[in-house]
């Protein structure tokens, strides 16, 4: 089957993107524009609080979309997940539930729900197969968030079975790239490490502290590649099976720290705080389903993506480090 994007597919659609002003959302908006989408509606959380059922109804009434891409989420790294598990659980559960149900009620032609790699069981065999989602409990530090997002998979599969709703579920692995959040309260591992290394270099520190043992591993997907995968799925995929989006490269955190320290030019000691958690022991996904069902393959090398991320951070420190609202 050919998966060549068709600009005509997008030109006549009204596309609603929730979370369109966030890290991944901005990349998705860029990709939609590149693919020829003309009518794209991306409201802010200030306009419509998606935790409020009435606000979701009003958003759909205002947008009247043919296609919904649901990206809005409350997220954070290990620290944020440990400090605010109830908040992250409830916010993500409500937002996804209300958006998916409103799309069903209005017979929206298609809905793309973006989940999270955090939904996988703590000790999932690597590479993660989508068939392993229900084989155990998620890693404890991000389980409430992961389970809240996974609930949307259950909901859309139930809606497909009972109502015939056209909705799909995607799970990008750990994202990184320009426009990420570098504030310590919400940053994930790559922006957190970049900021630490840059701060240590600029202050002349002789060491920097890093959480955990360094033994955990992650697979990182450049944000523009993730956006390309999401837009591809919106055009070509319409099944109830969940789909991983990955880059086919698993990297130990200890190696990641070494790469970032060298790229930044910090020459001091790296000290590992083993009293802090590593998070899930390993993350690396099987990307074969995405390749086979809608032709997605990540194109950005890790070195290229990391260099772009560092360059953006150094040129946009104020925006990158802004305290989240």
Residue 3, domain member (yes or no): no
Give me the number of domains the chain comprises: 1
3 state SS of 78:
helix
Concatenated DSSP letters for 17-41?
EETTTSHHHHHHHHHHHHHT--EEE
Q: Is 163 a catalytic residue?
A: no
Residue of higher predicted confidence among 237 and 5: 237
Residue 76 pLDDT greater than 90, yes or no: no
3 state SS of 113:
strand
Residue 325, domain member (yes or no): no
Residue of higher predicted confidence among 77 and 74: 74
Q: Average pLDDT in the 196-210 region? A: 95
Residue 279 pLDDT greater than 90, yes or no: no
The H or E element containing residue 221 is strand 217-222
Please give the residue range of the domain that contains residue 226. 10-320
Confidence of residue 184 (pLDDT cuts 50, 70, 90): confident
CATH of the domain at 178: 3.40.50.720
Residue 17, domain member (yes or no): yes
Q: Give the whole-angstrom CA distance, residue 148 versus residue 136.
A: 15
Phi/psi-derived region of residue 211, left when phi > 0, alpha when psi is between -120 and 50, beta in every other case? beta
3 state SS of 227:
helix
Catalytic annotation, pick one of 89, 145, 176, 237:
145
Residue 27 pLDDT greater than 60, yes or no: yes
Residue 69, domain member (yes or no): yes
pLDDT (0 to 100) of residue 318: 93
Residue 4, domain member (yes or no): no
| Percent of the chain topping pLDDT 70 | 97
pLDDT (0 to 100) of residue 9: 92
Q: Is 45 exposed, middle or buried (0-12, 13-18, 19+ CB in 10 A)?
A: middle
Residue 2, domain member (yes or no): no
Question: Is it true that the peptide bond before 287 is cis, omega within 30 degrees of 0?
Answer: no
Residue 192, domain member (yes or no): yes
Residue 81, domain member (yes or no): yes
Q: Average pLDDT in the 277-297 region? A: 93
Confidence of residue 80 (pLDDT cuts 50, 70, 90): low
């Amino acid at each position: 089957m050919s998966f060549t994007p068709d600009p005509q597919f997008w030109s006549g659609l009204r596309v609603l993107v929730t979370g369109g002003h966030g890290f991944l959302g901005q990349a998705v908006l860029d990709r939609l524009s590149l693919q020829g989408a003309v009518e794209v509606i991306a409201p802010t959380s200030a306009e419509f609080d998606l935790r409020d059922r009435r606000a979701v109804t009003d958003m759909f009434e205002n947008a009247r979309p043919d296609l919904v891409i649901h990206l809005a989420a409350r997220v954070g790294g290990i620290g944020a997940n440990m400090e605010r598990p109830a908040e992250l659980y409830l916010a993500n559960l409500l937002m996804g539930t209300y958006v998916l149900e409103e799309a069903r009620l209005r017979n929206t032609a298609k809905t793309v729900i973006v989940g999270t790699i955090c939904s996988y069981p703590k000790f999932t065999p690597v590479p993660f197969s989508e068939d392993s989602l229900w084989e155990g409990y998620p890693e404890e530090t991000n389980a409430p968030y992961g389970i809240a997002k996974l609930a949307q998979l259950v909901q859309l599969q139930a809606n497909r079975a009972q109502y015939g709703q056209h909705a799909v579920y995607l799970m990008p692995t750990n994202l990184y790239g320009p426009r990420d959040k570098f504030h310590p309260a919400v940053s994930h591992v790559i922006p957190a490490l970049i900021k630490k290394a840059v701060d240590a270099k600029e202050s002349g520190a002789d060491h920097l502290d890093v959480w955990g043992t360094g033994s955990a591993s992650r697979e990182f997907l450049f944000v523009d590649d993730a956006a390309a995968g999401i837009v591809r799925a919106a055009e070509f995929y319409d099944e109830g099976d969940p789909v991983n989006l990955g880059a086919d490269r698993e990297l130990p955190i200890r190696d990641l720290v070494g790469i970032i320290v060298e790229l930044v030019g910090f020459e001091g000691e790296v000290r590992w705080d083993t009293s802090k958690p590593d998070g899930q022991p390993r993350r690396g996904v099987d990307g074969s389903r995405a390749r086979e069902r809608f032709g997605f393959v990540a194109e950005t090398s890790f070195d290229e993506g990391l260099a772009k991320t560092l360059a953006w951070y150094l040129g946009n420190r104020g925006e990158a480090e802004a305290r989240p609202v």
